[in-house]
Amino acid sequence: MLHSHDWSESSLILDLFTRDQGRVVAVAKGAKRPYSQLRPVLMPFQRLQVGFGVKRSDEAEVWLLRQAEWAGGPAWPGGAALLPGFYLNELLMRLLARHDPHPGLFDAYAQTLPALADPSLLQAALRAFEMVLLRQLGHLPDLSQLTIDGQAVEPGQGYELHPELGISHAHRHEEGAVLDGAVLRQLEAALSTEGEGGRTILVPAMPPLMAACMPALSELKTVLRALLHYHLGSHTLRTRQLMMELQQA
């Protein structure tokens, strides 16, 4: 479950991220009642097995949640991981269209959540998930080559990632984070991991991608923030604004 809000005195409207149906908005009737079987399991970040009402269509804006059961997995640690977790949820709600399945992104999300509880992995986990999200949506170009002419990036050379121009040579007179060609090649290798038979798998293993992020966490934060802002539009993410306010407090 990504988010919930009240609907009437006893029910909830849920924003769910499902592996087979993508992002789904559903109503959970009676979920707020003390004796409801849905109440104890409808928690953010927990993996659920859900069932929807029979009478639905792909065009329906809101589906009816019939059942929800805990699907196993570790309990959500909360604490310092809570706000970063809600940041991931907000990205999914803002960028994913309804009923557009992304099973690879679902798996990446499941792999990322546990890493948020480790302070040494937190920033790398966020950057890795942002890249997988952008790649799955077609917003992240091949990082191992120049977007305009397809020439390979070279280790030791500086490059920039623009929302519209893609990967290009860094220019000293322009402001912006510069990424080394070696880092870009490592990131692309981690993003393009192949499975058996040479076929590209749906989603890369997140630990190698996190490791590839480590040498350039600051630069990646700047670059990916600009890229996400471009595709999100002018509205500031609520979780990002809250993070800034907490840092200033």
**Secondary element (H or E) of residue 178:** none
Contact between residue 103 and residue 65 where contact means Cβ atoms under 8 Å apart: no
For residue 19, is pLDDT > 90?
Answer: yes
pLDDT of residue 231: 92
Specify whether 88 is located in the same domain as 25.
no
Question: What global pTM score does this model have?
Answer: 0.89
Specify whether 89 is located in the same domain as 154.
yes
For residue 201, is pLDDT > 70?
Answer: no
Strand 11-18: give its sheet, edge to edge.
3-7, 11-18, 22-28, 63-70, 48-52
* Model confidence band, residue 202 (pLDDT cutoffs 50, 70, 90): low
Higher pLDDT, 197 or 171: 171
Specify whether 36 is located in the same domain as 123.
no
Specify whether 31 is located in the same domain as 50.
yes
Q: Produce one character per residue of 136-167: b if its CB has 16 or more CB atoms within 10 Å, e if not.
A: beeebbbbbbbbeeeeebeeeebbbbbeeebb
Specify whether 17 is located in the same domain as 43.
yes
CATH number at residue 27: 2.40.50.140
What percent of the chain stands above pLDDT 70?
Answer: 86
Specify whether 109 is located in the same domain as 219.
yes
CATH number at residue 97: 1.20.1440.120
For residue 210, the enclosing domain spans 79-248
* Model confidence band, residue 160 (pLDDT cutoffs 50, 70, 90): very high
Per-residue pLDDT tens digits for 63-112: 999 899 988 776 666 778 888 999 999 999 999 999 999 999 999 999 99
Specify whether 144 is located in the same domain as 187.
yes
Higher pLDDT, 108 or 237: 108
Dihedral, 86, 91, 97, 102 alpha carbons, nearest 10: -90
Domain boundary among 70, 90, 122: 70
Specify whether 60 is located in the same domain as 83.
no
Q: How many domains does the chain have?
A: 2
Specify whether 83 is located in the same domain as 146.
yes
Domain boundary among 41, 70, 99: 70
Domain boundary among 70, 89, 122: 70
Specify whether 59 is located in the same domain as 166.
no
* Model confidence band, residue 196 (pLDDT cutoffs 50, 70, 90): very low
Specify whether 10 is located in the same domain as 30.
yes
Specify whether 52 is located in the same domain as 166.
no
Q: Which residues pair with 67 in a beta bridge?
A: 51
**Secondary element (H or E) of residue 172:** none
For 247, residues 6+ apart whose C-beta sits below 8 A from its C-beta are none
